[in-house]
């Protein structure tokens, strides 16, 4: 397929309320399908909720998590995909037969599970296990990959996924509007969200400034541009537990340009048309061809012990 319409979504999820969150996913998927999208992507842990999990015990996490693909959420997503003829990507906590816990993101179509990815750098809950492999799969003639939130800040993960063939990388997040050592970072006052209808300007100034979108613009376009890929970025809007998130779900092309972005202060979707021609016209295509791995393969592959499940990782992600 030379062209494909893909949607990215933002919505205010509810903590642990999978039935409600799946109902919103169903509604927005229907809306995207009516607009001609073949695929819709939702944010990290869009099915389960995210930030509240930092308070949960292992037993509570196991109650919240699901087996994949046997779990009820995969069946629900399959029903949505089948009813509206649209492929759905969404996130949840996963458990396996040995009670290991993962941060998972799935791609589901009318026939069931297409792909499952486990976050490589999880940290919201100490009982999460890190994923140990990349994920590349086919959708409508396009090669796709998935990297969850902090995975995208480690630039080697993006390049590795591209070298495995990805034309599109889905980048589900729960990010922005948190404290950091970075100048200008910090929480956004939840009162601004409550007053968004009467005073949208004050909220937008916070959402679009260095606490939010301005920080995102420091690095997200470069992931698309340097690698010559499409990026489908999804992020929640509104309260995620006690933290306010600013949405800005967007799609970027291989030139690093934003071709569609959610700009409403509420649940929303946005659709973009992706064309394969851009993949070979963008600079990233030439940069990949010009690589000299003989010079740096041993440098990039130096031993390293990844840091997992530590509080400072919850700052900029």
pLDDT tens readout for residues 110-149: 999 999 999 999 999 999 999 999 999 999 999 999 999 9
- What pTM was estimated for this model as a whole? 0.96
Partners of 142 in the beta sheet? Answer: 139
Distance CA 137, CA 146 (A): 9
**Residue 267 located in a structural domain:** yes
3-state secondary structure 71-104: CHHHHHHHHHHHHHCCEEEEEEEEECCCCCEEEE
**Residue 112 located in a structural domain:** yes
Using the structure block, give the residue that is written with the tokens 């998935």: 146
| pLDDT greater than 60 at residue 313 | no
Distance CA 100, CA 12 (A): 28
Range of the domain at 277: 3-301
**Residue 315 located in a structural domain:** no
Tell me the C-alpha to C-alpha distance, in Å, between residue 33 and each of 7, 30, 167, 311.
9, 5, 22, 39
| pLDDT greater than 70 at residue 66 | yes
Number of structural domains found in the chain: 1
Q: What mean pLDDT value characterizes the chain?
A: 95
Which residues lie closer than 8 Å to 147 by C-beta, 6 or more apart? Answer: 117, 120, 157, 158, 161, 169, 170, 171
- The CB density around residue 34, as the number of other CB atoms within 10 Å, is 10
- pLDDT tens for each residue of 171-223: 999 999 999 999 999 999 999 999 999 999 999 999 999 999 999 999 999 99
Residue 213 has phi, psi (to 5 degrees) of -60, -40
Distance CA 251, CA 170 (A): 9
**Residue 99 located in a structural domain:** yes
**Residue 118: both structure tokens together:** 């486990």
**Residue 314 located in a structural domain:** no
**Residue 199 located in a structural domain:** yes
Partners of 39 in the beta sheet? Answer: 6, 87
Q: How many percent of the chain have pLDDT more than 90?
A: 94
Q: What is the CATH number of the domain that holds 128?
A: 3.60.110.10
pLDDT score recorded for residue 312: 41
Distance CA 299, CA 317 (A): 25
**Residue 182 located in a structural domain:** yes
Task: With cut-offs at 50, 70 and 90, classify the pLDDT of residue 232.
Answer: very high
**Residue 69 located in a structural domain:** yes
Q: Taking a C-beta distance cutoff of 8 angstroms, is the pair 302, 296 a contact?
A: no
């Amino acid at each position: 397929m030379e062209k494909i319409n893909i949607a990215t979504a933002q919505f205010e999820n509810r903590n642990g309320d999978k039935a409600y969150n799946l109902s919103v996913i169903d509604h927005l998927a229907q809306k995207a399908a009516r607009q001609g999208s073949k695929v819709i992507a939702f944010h990290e842990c869009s099915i389960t909720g995210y930030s509240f999990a930092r308070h949960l015990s292992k037993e509570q996490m196991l109650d919240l998590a699901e087996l994949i693909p046997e779990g009820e959420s995969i069946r629900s997503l399959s029903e949505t995909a089948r009813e509206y003829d649209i492929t759905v990507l969404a996130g949840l906590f996963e458990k396996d037969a040995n009670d290991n816990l993962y941060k998972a993101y799935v791609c589901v179509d009318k026939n069931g599970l297409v792909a499952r990815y486990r976050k490589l750098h999880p940290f919201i809950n100490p009982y999460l296990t890190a994923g140990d492999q990349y994920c590349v799969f086919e959708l409508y003639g396009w090669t796709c990959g998935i990297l969850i939130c902090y995975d995208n800040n480690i630039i080697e993960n993006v390049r590795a996924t591209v070298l495995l063939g990805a034309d599109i990388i889905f980048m589900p997040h729960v990010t922005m509007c948190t404290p950091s050592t970075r100048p200008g970072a910090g929480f956004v006052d939840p009162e601004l969200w409550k007053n968004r209808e009467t005073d949208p300007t004050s909220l937008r100034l916070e959402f679009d400034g260095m606490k939010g979108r301005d920080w995102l613009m420091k690095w997200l376009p470069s992931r698309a541009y340097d690698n010559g890929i499409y990026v489908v970025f999804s992020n929640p809007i509104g309260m995620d537990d006690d933290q306010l998130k600013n949405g800005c779900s967007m799609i970027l092309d291989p030139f690093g340009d934003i071709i569609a972005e959610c700009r409403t202060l509420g649940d929303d979707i946005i659709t973009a048309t992706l064309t394969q021609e851009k993949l070979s016209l963008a600079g990233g295509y030439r940069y990949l061809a010009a690589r000299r791995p003989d010079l740096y393969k041993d440098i990039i592959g130096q031993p390293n012990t990844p840091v997992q499940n530590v509080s400072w990782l919850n700052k900029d992600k």
